[in-house]
Chains A and B, each alone.
Chain A
Amino acid sequence: MLWIIPLLVVLAACGSGGSGGSGGSGGNSGGPASTGSPSSGESGGGDSAAAPGEEASGKPSVAFVYIGTPGDGGWTYEHDQGRKYMEEVHGIKATVVENVPESADAERIIEELAQNHDIVITTSFGYMDQTLSVAQRYPDVVFLHCGGYKTADNMTNYFGKNYEASYLTGIAAGKMTKSNIIGYVGAFPIPEVIYNINAFKLGIESVNPDAVVHVVWSNTWYDPTVERQAAISLLDLGADVLLAYQDSPATIQAAAERGALAGGNDSDMTRFAPEAYLTNPTWNWGPYYAQAVQEVMDGTWTNEPVSGSMGDGMVGLAPLGPSIPDDVKELVESAKEQILNGAFDVFKGPLVDQEGTLRVEEGRVLTLEEILEMNWFLKGIEGKIPQ
């Protein structure tokens, strides 16, 4: 067995070499506060040493629970950017647990973190019930849960109106498609994804009423091989513009190979395939995290759910890719102005669903609650929502 030791040394050397060349993600996730394995004792040990010190300085101790790793280049990457922003603003160091499955394990990890932190931030929809259950047992800890709808006295949820940016992405997609077939890789048939697809379709419709959106469900947030299969099935169908409500850039990479255009989600994904990049909605969580921590410090925090928007900067639109002509960029820019001015509502009647039923009457604007419960597709979208 001794011979395997040199092998491991070589591999480990490659590993650290790789992280050096990886720019941000590797070096930053290697800090003492972050641990790759949820089951390792490192997180508990490391932070229990840190927590008293932080309390002495009057700063709360903060913990983050991630569904993936910051290396995903999308969803978790943006939360990690938000964490770093918050750390810089308040001069504190947060604890991070990566790759936490949305299962019973999550509850155990959230509970461990609650035992020695003042604020626990859970960054995936699927942590909702686990977060709530721990929140009820730890009334002195503040819980911020991303994307859900349940609250408690010490737990709130936060998300943003990313459908505004999906609408703008739709304008670019509608202008750029030549085949009038646009593909959409959706993660799960849940309202969050459905209203983004509908907003995307409305954006397309505003510039290109003939284009059809085909939707496939991958049933995963993050699995590049599956996402790629989904993207290829859409490209084979003749789609020349793709969008993926997924956490990885697999769809953009697949589109690039076929000379199609694509956008992803969560984060500016230009770097994965610049020539093939369209644009997509992005998140900017940092200011919210910093503000929530400040409010907890000031004692002004409430459990009022937070819904950010393009106006307050929580939601953004990635810069349009280098292959997108200027007139399209200007069109998107002017629509963005209207949204920022508050002069434009994305979900405004008349809206007709796939079956031809009038869902929203002429002139009526959907309320936020109605949007957050959306479970139907607009006319012109091909794809089924499992009921």
Chain B
Amino acid sequence: MDLILQIVAAAMSSGTPLLFAVLGGILIERSGIIQLGAEGIMLMGAVTAALLYLRTGSLAAALPAVLAVSAALGLLHAFLTVTLRVNQIVSGLAMTLFGSGLSAFLGRAIAGQPMPGAVPKLDMPVLDGVPVIGVLVAHLDVLTWLSFALVIALHLYIYRTSWGLHLRALGDSPPTADVMGIPVTAFRYGCVIAGTMLIGLGGADLLLVFSPAWIEDMTAGRGWIAVALIIFARWNPLRALLCAYFFGALDALGFRIQLIGSSIPSYFLKMIPYAVTILVLMYLGWRNRGKPSGSPESLGVPYIREQRL
């Protein structure tokens, strides 16, 4: 039981950065824009958080800066894909390369320096006695709580509000949305910028909560896993939570399998999250063969008013 709780706790802590990135990706892709830049955006979020937090010692300065930098990256992606209608895959890949290069450059001077303090925790002593839940949530940091709130807010937004209906219409059929009077371009800009801010926050969470020192390429592929998780979660925020924690658990599992004294080579254990990514994709593809994938129908298609599709 303890072991399971420990794995769930570890899954939550390593799954939260992924969760932010997946939620951001869902918001962007729901509006019909492909999002492949998560790796670079997370790195930019992390390095911005590190630079500002080290310099000012204040999270109140670091987090808004993270949001501002990610919003700028989102604006760039939106400008390229919505206004200029460049290939969304290429724009996303460029974002990844740009983000990893620039973050490595900006972070050179602070590589390895520990952060001045931990992210404040929301202590709830009331819950201490409660089994399971008390252990898991009584002393979580504020960013993790924010991620819970975002899951619920996004879910309600997408499925329970008329704005969410507009969003879904936008992703499935921009001409219809346009006819309905939804401002397609502005809406897409808004979604891409807001979603990119969430992805940047995922990078900041990785740095501030999970591994409090900047190092080059510290995301180590998490951005790409987040891209895959958008598909596993079938663009649904609640499923995103499960998927992110599932992958967090796989991340944490490797060392625990080593510790039980299993004779599986540690190299193989390290491969688990990546191998499972491929297996789950294969499984979903097989199970959903012939059915709609849940993907927004016009994902990746730029919208040009009055153009025949």
Selected from B72, B206, B259, the residue in CB contact (under 8 A) with A234 is B259
| B295 at interface by CB-CB < 8 Å | no
Q: Could you tell me if A69 and B69 are in contact, using CB atoms closer than 8 angstroms?
A: no
Q: Could you tell me if A71 and B113 are in contact, using CB atoms closer than 8 angstroms?
A: yes
Q: Could you tell me if B48 and A11 are in contact, using CB atoms closer than 8 angstroms?
A: yes
Selected from B55, B210, B211, B255, the residue in CB contact (under 8 A) with A18 is B55
CB within 8 Å for A233 and B252 given contacts A22-B109, A384-B263: yes
CB within 8 Å for A14 and B52 given contacts A71-B112, A73-B112, A219-B266: yes
Selected from B76, B113, B270, the residue in CB contact (under 8 A) with A22 is B113
CB within 8 Å for A228 and B211 given contacts A15-B51, A216-B255, A223-B220: yes
Q: Could you tell me if A16 and B109 are in contact, using CB atoms closer than 8 angstroms?
A: yes
| B288 at interface by CB-CB < 8 Å | no
In the assembly, what is the distance between CA of A386 and CA of B112, in Å?
30
Could you list 27 examples of A-B contacts with CB < 8 Å? A4-B76, A14-B48, A15-B108, A16-B109, A18-B109, A18-B110, A19-B109, A21-B54, A22-B110, A26-B109, A69-B108, A69-B111, A69-B112, A73-B112, A189-B266, A219-B267, A219-B270, A223-B215, A232-B10, A233-B256, A236-B6, A236-B256, A250-B211, A250-B213, A273-B114, A383-B261, A386-B267
Interface SS majority for chain B = helix
Q: Could you tell me if A253 and B213 are in contact, using CB atoms closer than 8 angstroms?
A: yes
In the assembly, what is the distance between CA of A22 and CA of B108, in Å?
11
| B212 at interface by CB-CB < 8 Å | yes
Q: Could you tell me if B213 and A233 are in contact, using CB atoms closer than 8 angstroms?
A: no
Residues of chain A touching chain B, judged by Cβ–Cβ distance below 8 Å, are: 1, 3-4, 7-8, 11-12, 14-19, 21-22, 25-26, 29-30, 36, 69, 71-74, 77, 99, 189, 214, 216-217, 219, 222-226, 228-230, 232-234, 236-237, 248-250, 253, 257, 271-273, 382-384, 386
Apart from A18-B110, A386-B265, list 15 A-B contacts with CB within 8 A. A7-B69, A11-B48, A12-B106, A14-B52, A15-B51, A22-B109, A25-B111, A25-B112, A69-B108, A214-B259, A224-B213, A236-B10, A250-B211, A253-B114, A386-B267
| B128 at interface by CB-CB < 8 Å | no
Selected from A26, A225, A253, the residue in CB contact (under 8 A) with B220 is A225
CB nearest to B265 among chain A residues = A386
Q: Could you tell me if B258 and A216 are in contact, using CB atoms closer than 8 angstroms?
A: yes
Q: Could you tell me if B10 and A233 are in contact, using CB atoms closer than 8 angstroms?
A: yes
Q: Could you tell me if B51 and A29 are in contact, using CB atoms closer than 8 angstroms?
A: no
CB nearest to A250 among chain B residues = B211
In the assembly, what is the distance between CA of A7 and CA of B99, in Å?
13
Contacts of B218 in A (CB 8 A): 223-225
Count of A-B contacts with CB under 8 A? 149
Contacts of B100 in A (CB 8 A): none
In the assembly, what is the distance between CA of A272 and CA of B215, in Å?
15
Q: Could you tell me if B261 and A384 are in contact, using CB atoms closer than 8 angstroms?
A: yes
Contacts of A3 in B (CB 8 A): 72, 75
CB distance from B298 to the nearest CB of A (A): 26
Chain B interface residue bracket vs A: 35 or more
Within 8 A of A (CB), among B209-240: 210-213, 215-216, 218, 220
Interface SS majority for chain A = helix
A interface footprint on B254-284 (CB within 8 Å = 1, 0 otherwise): 1110110111011100100000000000000
Which are the 9 A-B pairs with shortest beta-carbon distances? A19-B109, A71-B111, A26-B109, A233-B255, A217-B266, A71-B112, A386-B265, A225-B211, A236-B6
Q: Could you tell me if A224 and B69 are in contact, using CB atoms closer than 8 angstroms?
A: no
Q: Could you tell me if B55 and A21 are in contact, using CB atoms closer than 8 angstroms?
A: yes
CB distance from B268 to the nearest CB of A (A): 9
| B97 at interface by CB-CB < 8 Å | no
Within 8 A of A (CB), among B99-130: 102, 104-114, 118
Within 8 A of A (CB), among B146-193: none
In the assembly, what is the distance between CA of A65 and CA of B249, in Å?
37
Residue in A18, A30, A232 whose Cβ sees the most chain B Cβ within 10 Å: A18
| B31 at interface by CB-CB < 8 Å | no
Contacts of A222 in B (CB 8 A): 215
In the assembly, what is the distance between CA of A14 and CA of B225, in Å?
30
Contacts of B69 in A (CB 8 A): 7, 11
